[in-house]
Amino acid sequence: MPLSNPHLPTARSRWLGLAALTLPVILTSMDITILHIAIPTITHELAPTAGQTLWILDSYGFLLAGLLIVMGNIGDRIGRRKLLMIGATVFGAASALAAFSPTPELLIAARALMGVGGATLMPSTLSLIRNMFEDPVERTKAIGVWTASLSGGIALGPIVGGLLLEVFWWGSVFLINVPIIAILLMATPRLVPEYRSTASRRLDFISVVLSFAAILPIVWAIKSAAEELSMTPASWLALVAGAVAGAVFLLRQRKLTLPLVDLNLFANPRFSGAILGAGLAMFSLVGVMLYKAQYLQLVAGLSPLAAALAMLPIMVAVGAMAVLSSALVQRFGYAVVFGAGAVVAAGGMFAFSRVSEDGGLPLAITAAAFIGAGIAPMMTLAADVVVGSAPTHRSGAASALSETSSELGAALGIAVLGSIGTAMYRRRVTELLPQDVPGEAADVIASSLGAATSVAEQLPRETAEHLGGIAREAFVHGLGTATVVGACVLALAAIACPVLIHMGRPSGELQSENTAPS
């Protein structure tokens, strides 16, 4: 037998176990976006440099993306529940450290440690669901709940952040994780059975190093290029180094009996389409969430609490459609539902691109809800196809591939859409600013809408209103351009991914071919 599973769960215990597994999913996904609301307060309190602010935001996702594949494989070997418990402990301790960090440097380190813990949690939860729910219909429903937790956590981050900042200090956005982790550590041993691969062998250390050498430089290059609005020599060097390491990594995987990445899975277009779809969905969702958080506070003028409440519709839409996806699949099939979701999300993105600086709040909220309603079935079905396509003893590694695709998609979404929006913002500000504005002040205003707002607050009222209006108009112009690009990406996903999913073999067929351990 490829899997060690001494205690098969009953139907009741499966769903109780699923409820426990949603906790780490919500926490890790929420931490991707919770700082969108909290970073202005943290910047005021800790006074980090511009580079430190970037790393406070990015160190979590940076380590998360780099470690997912490795941690998924470790879970297959030592036990997925065991890895989940270890990761939860690390994540909880790092959250407490972040909450009470007195300096930017310590906060960056704590966020990086949270990324290490988060990388153990995400593939563990998805692979455990794959093992607990062997019936395809039940599994699709369970993964719908998992996806609702994932996408809902991303949407919930700014909401929770706004509510906490209204009452407590900035550290509360991290400290909220600790009691939830405590509940998880108590509930998981009682509700979730252990699974591990009996075919496991020693983890290939060279492959681990190569995976780091491939993913981390590429992610760094993307983020660096976004910050500088151009590819610097260092960015190009990192990109090339990552690509070379990635090529060597793939060549090595073909020679290993039990590789970190089973390249045979990609021979099935169904699996490849799901991986591509997960990445493109997260590319668009995280990119638009970043813009919406800024739009609500800096353009519409809402407080953190009001902005949090304005994000509730997208969370409701994501949760509802993720749960409904299983019923829609039974009637229309994977390819149709996936394509329809991409079309709905693309339509929402196009609508969001039309918001204005005055009176655009209703359209922003409605459009974001449609984006969430379309993205949710894409994420649900992508995860379902991925975990269903892998043999059970490799489901941790396959789940990690899905999560890596999502995390890299999120990093690309923030970097690419963020850089497009920033470039358009700067160009528009340069066109609209009066010639008599001093050069230093003009540079600050052109750097970002947040910086422009801070400068405007220190000027006479009439001047402040004029410059603030220019900055808001420029931001909306950049938002519109970036979200149109995101909509085009979703339109591409609506065509390519359903074709691949339709061409590929059903999950059950692939599963039957791969039940024997490598």
* Position 165 in a domain: yes
Would the pTM count as exceeding 0.85? Answer: no
Q: Count of CB atoms within 10 A of residue 155's CB?
A: 26
CB within 8 Å of 200: residues ≥ 6 apart: 76, 77, 258, 393
pLDDT of 322-350, one tens digit each?
Answer: 778 778 888 888 888 888 999 999 999 99
* Position 138 in a domain: yes
Task: Kindly state the average pLDDT of the residues 274-299.
Answer: 79
Which pLDDT band holds residue 441 (cuts at 50, 70, 90)? Answer: low
Which pLDDT band holds residue 427 (cuts at 50, 70, 90)? Answer: confident
Domain span at residue 222 reads: 205-255
Is pLDDT at 515 greater than 50 in this prediction? no
Who has greater pLDDT, 229 or 235?
235
Q: What pLDDT is attached to residue 400? A: 63
Distance between CA 363 and CA 313 in Å, rounded? 12
* Position 161 in a domain: yes
Q: What pLDDT is attached to residue 25? A: 80
Who has greater pLDDT, 451 or 114?
114
Is 102 found in the same domain as 50? yes
Q: What total number of domains does the chain contain?
A: 2
- Asked whether 319 and 148 are in contact (CB, 8 A), the reply is yes
* Position 371 in a domain: yes
Distance between CA 350 and CA 415 in Å, rounded? 20
Is pLDDT at 356 greater than 50 in this prediction? yes
Is 349 found in the same domain as 294? yes
Who has greater pLDDT, 194 or 290?
194
506 half-sphere exposure, CB direction, 13 A CA radius: 5
Is 279 found in the same domain as 217? no
Q: Which helix (H) or strand (E) holds 376?
A: helix 361-389
If you average pLDDT over each of 38-47, 128-137, 340-349, 466-475, which comes out highest? 340-349
Q: What pLDDT is attached to residue 491? A: 92
Who has greater pLDDT, 407 or 233?
233
* Amino acid occupying residue 31: D
Is 215 found in the same domain as 193? no
Measured at the alpha carbon of residue 441, what is the angle toward residues 435 and 446, in degrees to the nearest 5? 85
Is 110 found in the same domain as 227? no
Is pLDDT at 6 greater than 60 in this prediction? no
Is 424 found in the same domain as 336? yes
The residue out of 255, 284, 318 marking a domain boundary is 255
Is 291 found in the same domain as 396? yes
CB within 8 Å of 317: residues ≥ 6 apart: 369, 370, 372, 373, 376
* Position 463 in a domain: no
Who has greater pLDDT, 111 or 447?
111
Is 360 found in the same domain as 295? yes
Q: Which two tokens stand for residue 24?
A: 């780490």
Which of 437, 436, 435, 420 is CA-nearest to residue 475?
A: 420
* Position 459 in a domain: no
Q: Which two tokens stand for residue 443?
A: 């540079």
Which pLDDT band holds residue 490 (cuts at 50, 70, 90)? Answer: very high
The residue out of 255, 289, 319 marking a domain boundary is 255
Q: Which two tokens stand for residue 100?
A: 């009470």
Is 410 found in the same domain as 293? yes
DSSP 449-460: HHHHHHHHTTS-
Which pLDDT band holds residue 5 (cuts at 50, 70, 90)? Answer: very low
Share of the chain above pLDDT 70, in %: 78
Q: What pLDDT is attached to residue 516? A: 33
pLDDT of 98-130, one tens digit each?
Answer: 999 888 889 999 998 988 888 887 767 777 777
Is 405 found in the same domain as 260? yes
Who has greater pLDDT, 73 or 217?
217
Task: Kindly state the average pLDDT of the residues 237-246.
Answer: 91
Is 195 found in the same domain as 104? yes
Distance between CA 265 and CA 507 in Å, rounded? 11
If you average pLDDT over each of 291-300, 364-373, 395-404, which comes out highest? 364-373
pLDDT of 139-167, one tens digit each?
Answer: 777 877 776 777 667 667 777 877 888 78
Task: Kindly state the average pLDDT of the residues 450-455.
Answer: 68
Measured at the alpha carbon of residue 242, what is the angle toward residues 239 and 247, in degrees to the nearest 5? 125
DSSP 151-180: HHHHHHHHHHHHHHHHHS-TTHHHHTHHHH
Q: What pLDDT is attached to residue 199? A: 57
* Position 449 in a domain: no
* Position 514 in a domain: no
The residue out of 255, 271, 287 marking a domain boundary is 255
Supply the CATH number for residue 53's domain: 1.20.1250.20
Is pLDDT at 248 greater than 90 in this prediction? yes
Q: Which two tokens stand for residue 487?
A: 């909509």
Mean of per-residue pLDDT scores for the chain? 77
- DSSP letter at 195 equals -
Is 337 found in the same domain as 213? no
Who has greater pLDDT, 371 or 289?
371
Q: Where are the beta strands (DSSP E) in 102-166?
A: none
Q: What pLDDT is attached to residue 131? A: 75
pLDDT of 394-404, one tens digit each?
Answer: 555 666 677 66
Task: Kindly state the average pLDDT of the residues 36-61.
Answer: 72
